[in-house]
């Protein structure tokens, strides 16, 4: 498997043929290099390899979205009683704005319903306005704020917005 983020172009939206050719498959330990390459370019405070490795167990839903051998994105969610908690959803920066995140949210919603979940939950940085808008457009509603939840620059903390979606 190879990952070449520079080969992708954000100026050309994906074709219908490309959309029809993507696959969603469980994340495996041998894919963590590709996942980490995206994670480290997408976030100022990325997850660690250990975070991902620990999430590769039956309590979690860890999926990768592929187009041929290009990793477009991934999501990780934790199962709960009648709920699913989205922990991480990331689209490769060179592929953002092309609908892949929405496609993964659709897949997560379907998987959650299949598991018997009634609700989908998430936290998002209060400063991540782009993600907040995406989640709101998808139907999530703000439930509360978790104060000082995320690490921020210079040993400071940032609030998290807690959101939920009734499935």
Q: How far apart are CA 128 and CA 126, in angstroms?
A: 6
pLDDT, tens only, 92-145: 999 999 999 999 999 999 999 999 999 999 999 899 898 999 999 999 999 999
Q: CA nearest 26: which of 120, 111, 109?
A: 111
Local confidence band at 155 (pLDDT 50, 70, 90 cut-offs): confident
Domains of the chain, CATH where assigned = 21-166 (3.40.630.30)
Average pLDDT over residues 60-67: 97
| pTM for this predicted structure | 0.87
Active-site residues, by number, are 123, 135
Q: Going by DSSP bridges, is the β-strand pair 157-166/141-151 parallel, antiparallel, or unpaired?
A: antiparallel
Is pLDDT of 3 > 60?
no
pLDDT, tens only, 52-61: 999 999 999 9
pLDDT higher at 4 or 69: 69
């Amino acid at each position: 498997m190879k990952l070449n983020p520079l080969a992708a172009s954000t100026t050309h939206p994906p074709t219908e043929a490309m959309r029809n050719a993507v696959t969603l498959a469980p994340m495996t330990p041998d894919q963590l290099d590709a996942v980490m390459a995206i994670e480290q370019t997408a976030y100022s405070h990325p997850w660690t390899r250990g975070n991902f490795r620990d999430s590769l167990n039956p309590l979690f839903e860890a999926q990768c979205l592929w187009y041929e051998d290009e990793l477009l994105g991934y999501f990780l969610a934790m199962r709960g009683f009648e709920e699913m908690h989205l922990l991480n959803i990331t689209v490769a920066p060179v592929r953002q704005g092309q609908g892949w995140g929405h496609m993964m949210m659709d897949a997560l919603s379907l998987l959650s319903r299949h598991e018997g979940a009634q609700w989908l939950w998430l936290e998002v940085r209060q400063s991540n306005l782009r993600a907040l808008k995406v989640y709101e457009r998808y139907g999530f509603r703000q439930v509360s704020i978790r104060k000082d939840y995320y690490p921020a620059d210079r040993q400071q903390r940032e609030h998290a917005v807690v959101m939920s979606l009734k499935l």
